Structure 1
Amino acid sequence: MGRRRRTTLDESTPRQPLTPLVRPNGGSESELDEYIHMGEKPPEEDDLFDDIPEEESSEDEDAAIPSIERDTKLEEEIEQEKYIPLEKLIADVAETGTSLDPVRMYLRDIGRDPLLTADEELELAQRIEAGSRALAEFEKRTGIHFAPGENTVARFKHALNEIDRLGDPELISEMEEKLLDGKIAHQRLAQSNLRLVVSVAKRYIGRGLNFLDLIQEGNLGLLRAVDKFDHKLGFKFSTYATWWIRQAISRAIADQARTIRIPVHMVETINRQTRVQRNLQQELGREPSFEEIALEMDFLEPDDANRVRRAMRTGTELEPDVRRRMERAAAKVQKIQRLSQDPLSLNTPVGTEENSSLGDFIEDDSIPAPENSATIRLLQEQMGEILDQLGDREREVLVMRFGLKDGITRTLEDVGKQFNVTRERVRQIEAKALRKLRHPLRSRKLRDYLG
């Protein structure tokens, strides 16, 4: 049996001029919200600081993506931007200070893929669905299972490679065409919406990732949207994909933009606390206390929170156990605030001419202040002049006993061994030398250095 030459993506999707997208009527906004957020499992915040474990890869990657709310205004703006000429889009990106050469090349490349009409979008979604059914049938008939988390395009490729390897004529005739068509439709739907990713990504410039990295992460979100899109619900694909693209970019910023990585669920908590603190500041007209923020963040059980609020209103004392729990909640707020601080490099340029760095303005605690250094040097000179008025043995005994040369003090016995005399003799020499130093003519030179 002769092998049929496979059709490539380029051959099945000829280059065409850009065509406008007809907006299909779809389901209600509330239904779309439920569809988008279906199966989400936001992390519990009460356990954030008990022990933060290392994040492990999960079969359900959706649970690891930070939860964000839909922005219908943004969705409408992005929908309109799909019709903006490429040069206008390039100019918009240039205003952000982004390097244009690689961006211009990328935008011109994706601009060759035509936008889809409503009918074309529906047809591609149906072909992807048929291909997905063929994938399920392939797994059932061959017993070959795909790796958890493997995206749909990778599964199509995997299945097609396995069909080639098995060489089963029945499998080839029944499934190869559906799998190949599903793969091509998946790629076409994704490629025709790459401009959607650019429109979303440009709104995140300046968040710690460069523009092309934002686009790359957004493209991954677009692929997830293609995998999960259900055309039977009647929603526009661009509306659904916008949410997934924003999710992927938000996760990348949370995961990669900081010098010191913070777990994604902690970034969500930091953002929530920032909003709470800002709202309380507007309501109270002052900076809220840690306790007030903790109450608003629901870091306490309802009963404890009611007791604390009642105590705040009446000015009464809290029970010891409630006070301890309140202190722990306030400490949690402080920890979150410390985590939210961005690290700064000591080499960060300072000033318009950038000829100084931040490190130049930070005090070095290991070096004495100039005035202290001058005082110590003068004291050493004065002490040296006074000690020179003593006998050699008296001077050496005081230097060794008080560590005037090396900072190491020695016992009477240690000094006695050095001079081969008894410790009592050393004590007598020391007492005589100190009496000489206490003479007003000598001691007045040192009084100014005494505290």
Structure 2
Amino acid sequence: MPDEFTGEKTERRKRDQGSPESLKKYLKEIAKLPRISVQEERELGRRIREHGDTEALKKLVEANLRFVVSFAKRYRGCGLSFLDLINEGNVGLIEAAKRYDPSKNVKFITYAVWWIRQSIIHALSDQSGPFRLPQKQANLLYRIGKTQSALMSELQRRPSVEEIAEAMDVDPKDVNTLLQVSDENISLSAVIDEEHEFHLSDKLEQETIPSADAVLMREALRTQVRQALAELDEKERKVVLLRFGLTGEEPKTLKEIGEMMNLSRERIRQIEAQALKKLNRSAKCQQLQSYLN
């Protein structure tokens, strides 16, 4: 297991903190770790939740360490070395693995991304430089992440800003502002040297794991689509949710949806066409046209 997995600041880590060689070694180590299927992921989550199985925890976390590398790249130049960012992200990953509930039918990495983000943001809040976030705001952002994770498990979808704010009893504007800060307040002036690190981490992203940006973009688009679905009637909304995989499951075919709703394939196609026509006429949905197509 990589040393940085534990999140502990060991003496060895202090000595070679952020060095290209230690980073290169770490990336090589996690590149060798096996991946797991969705079924294995859920079984590991069940064992962790029901029995506190430490081996299952180790396996679930190690299978997702590559994703943390991808996500941590967003925050380079913000006050911590790249290796420290990865380490902080791993702390969040471990916490997510301990709390993951596979019965909610949410993929682990979708659930974990918020714990990873909040762990990194919390660490960066103590740093000086262009990113610095006041501790009060950092704590609120951490609470937002916890609330969103809890709501995601409860609702089996990504909650809206309004739902998060209501659960926390805070102003939706405050929630929205802090979420934008966590996404956008990244230093653009950092000089990236570390040739080996860039090469190896990019190679990891070329593998079959989802990139951090891809996961976040997909979730953001899904959230916007769900908000727009309020303009549809119940039958249209159900067809669109199932057709585009917005329920947390794989997208369904027209035939599969027809069997679920006791309607013909052609009737489902008509309902889908009518729903998409409504959405495409909506000003809210103009930016989502390419996603829906």
Same fold (TM over 0.5): no
Which structure would you say has the larger RCO, counting Cα contacts within 8 Å and 6 or more residues apart?
2
Bigger Cα Rg: 1
Q: What TM-score, normalized by structure 2, do the two folds share?
A: 0.39
Q: Give the structure with the higher percent helix.
A: 2
